[in-house]
Amino acid sequence: MHAPSTGRQDGSRRRVPGPGRRPSARTLPRLTDGIDSYDVAVVGSGIGGLAAAALLARFGGRRVCLVEQHSTVGGLTQTFRRPGGWEWDAGVHYVGEMAEGRWPRRLMDAITGHSVDWLRLPEPADLFLYPDLEFASGGGETGLTTRLKALFPEDVAAIDAYFSDVRTVARSVGSALLEPRLPPPVRGLLRGLGVLPDWTRTESTGDYLARRFCNPRLRGLLASIWGDYGVPPSRSAFPLHAAVVAHYLDGAWYPRGGGSALAKGALTVIGNAGGRILRRHRVTQIRLEKGRVAGIDAVTRIAGQDRRVAIPAPLVISDAGAENTYRHLLAPEAGARMADRLAPFIEPCSGLSVYLGLNGSPRDLGFTGGNVWLFDSFDHDAILRQPDRTCPSAPTVVFLSFPTLRSGERKRHTAEIVSFLSADVFAPWHDRPWRRRGRDYEALKDRLADALIARIEARYPGFAGMISYREVSTPLSVGHFIASPRGAIYGLTGTVERYRALGLLGVRTAIPGLLLTGADAFVPGVAGAAFAGAAAAGAAMGPFGFVRLMGRIARETDCPL
C-alpha cells in the first residue's frame, strides 16, 4: 500500500516543478563545472532507482550518478515529520517476504547493505471488516485456508484450487523478468508450460473469481486486498492479484525506523562504491545522439538562479515512470509513439490520505499494529459505478495503519488513513499552485477527511477523540511532489487491457542506452519496484546480466538460486 506525503522530511515546504513545466530549461546557461561523465545516470530515487543504482555500483562496477529533484531522496519510501514529534511514512506500510532466506529479503539486504532491520507485523497483518463479517489474515496459507473453509464449507475444493493457482501464476509473473533474454521458441514453450505468463490470455480477477466461486461473499473476501494494487476486481489483471496475494501469504514486515531506512541504506551503498547523488536536480531531458542515449540535462538552483546541468552518460535508467519518461523526458520524435501506446493506461489509482497525530496509544482501542480495512459491501466494483465520481459521498473503502505500533522507534503515536477516489474530484484545482488552491479545495479535503474519520469512529468509538493533529493529501499533492500523472500512487493502471496490450512492460526500451525501472516496469509495491531495479541493473551489465547479478547476491548471502 502506498500513500503520498504532503511535505519534505524536515517539515519545510518547497514547490517542485513537475514534468511539462520545463520551457525555460533549454534557454538556461549550461553548467558543466564539477560534473563528470558517468557510466550510468539514474533518474529518480524511488526504490526502483535506488535499487538499480546500488546494485550497479556495488556488483556491476559502474560509476553511477543518481539524480533526484527533491532535497530528500527516497520517493515514496521517505518519511516526513511535523512539529510535536509526529512522523509518518510517505508510502511504505508493509512489505511481504522479508523473512530470512527469502529472495525479496536477500535482494533488499543487497540494496541496503544489510543495514535494515525488518520487524514482523503482529498478526493479523490485515484485518478485513465488512458490515456482517470480520476476517483476519495471518497464520500462513494453512491458517488462512482453514479459516476460509470453516466460513465457506461448500467451497473447500475451490479454495484449495484458488491458492494453487495463486502460487503458480505468481511464480510465472516473477519468471517474466527473464523473458526478454530468452529465444522466441523457448518463450513459447515456457508459456505453454505455464512457467511464463501468456499475457494475451489474461483474465480479470473478477472473471477468475466468478469462474471459481458461486458465493459473492467469498469472491468479495478474496478480492479484499485490491487496494494494495489499486484496481477493483472487474478491471484488475488476475496475474497482478495473484502476485500480491502470494507476496503476503507468509505475513508482512516493516523496516525498523520507517521507510526512510531503505533510502539511507541504499545511499550508503552507492556512496561507498563511488557513486554520486545529486539532490535538487530536476531532469528536463534525456539527450540522444545518433539515436542512442548520450546523457541527461537537469535544472538546479545555484546562488538564486536556475542553471542547466549536463550530465554525460551512455546509459540512463529512468525511475520517473514510463509516461513521464516517454512523454516528457524524450524528444517527441523519440518518445511520442510509445507514450501514445501508454495513454489508455494512465487512468491511475488515486487516493486521499489523512495523516493523524494522536494523543494516546491506539492499543487502548484494541489496535495491534496490523492494517485495518473497512468496506461497505463485498461488491468492490461499486466504486466504479458511482453516479458522479467527481462528487464522492461517504468513502466505500478505508485503509488504516499505525506506523508507531510497528516501527520500533517512534514515540508519539500516529495513524494514516487512505481511501480511493478519482483524480477528477480535484480537477477544478489542477492548475492552481500548491498551498494556494483556495477555500473550496480546503473545504472539500476537510469534508472527505471527516467522512473517513467518522467511518472509523463508528467501528472504534473513541478514535476521533484521540486526534490532536491532522493533515490531508490529495492526488494533486502526489502529482506535485513526485510528478506522477494525475496523482497515481501505483503507476500504470494494472488492468486486463494493459497487460493484454503491453504484457509486462519490462526494463528494456527500443532506444539504445535507455532502461526503465520502478513499478511500471514490473509490478507495484516496494518489492516489485526493487526487483525492477535489479532487472535494470542486470540489463546494464550485459547478456544474462540479471542471472549473473542474482548469482552474486546468492553467493554473498549464501542463498541458493
Q: How many residues does the chain have?
A: 561
> What number of other Cβ atoms are within 10 A of residue 548's Cβ?
15
How far apart, in whole angstroms, are the C-alpha atoms of residue 220 and residue 283? 43
Predicted pLDDT of residue 22 = 37
Predicted pLDDT of residue 434 = 74
Q: At what angle do helices 260-272 and 103-112 cross, to 10 degrees?
A: 60
- Quote the cell numbers at residue 446: 476537510
Residue type, position 404, single letter: T
Rounded alpha-carbon distances, angstroms, from residue 416 to 242, 392, 398, 428: 26, 20, 10, 26
Tell me: pLDDT of 173 over 90. yes
Tell me: pLDDT of 95 over 60. yes
- Quote the cell numbers at residue 264: 539511507
Tell me: pLDDT of 561 over 70. no
Residue pLDDT, tens place only, 490-511: 889 999 999 999 999 999 999 9
Tell me: pLDDT of 429 over 60. yes
Stretch among 57-66, 157-166, 388-397, 484-493 having the lowest mean pLDDT: 388-397
Share of the chain above pLDDT 70, in %: 89
Tell me: pLDDT of 289 over 90. yes
Output the CA torsion sign for 18, 24, 28, 30.
Answer: positive
How far apart, in whole angstroms, are the C-alpha atoms of residue 434 and residue 437? 6
> What number of other Cβ atoms are within 10 A of residue 509's Cβ?
23
Tell me: pLDDT of 332 over 50. yes
Work out the angle at residue 100's Cα, subtended by the Cα atoms of residues 179 and 121, and round it to the nearest 5 degrees.
Answer: 105
How far apart, in whole angstroms, are the C-alpha atoms of residue 353 and residue 1? 12
**Contact (Cβ atoms closer than 8 angstroms) between residue 266 and residue 54:** yes
What's the pTM value of the predicted model, to 2 decimals? 0.90
Residue 84 pLDDT level (bands cut at 50, 70, 90): confident
Sequence-distant contacts of 56-61: CB under 8 A, at least 24 apart: 56/537, 56/540, 56/541, 57/269, 57/270, 57/273, 57/274, 57/275, 58/110, 58/113, 58/269, 58/272, 58/273, 59/110, 59/537, 59/541, 59/549, 59/552, 59/553, 60/537, 60/540, 60/541, 60/545, 60/549
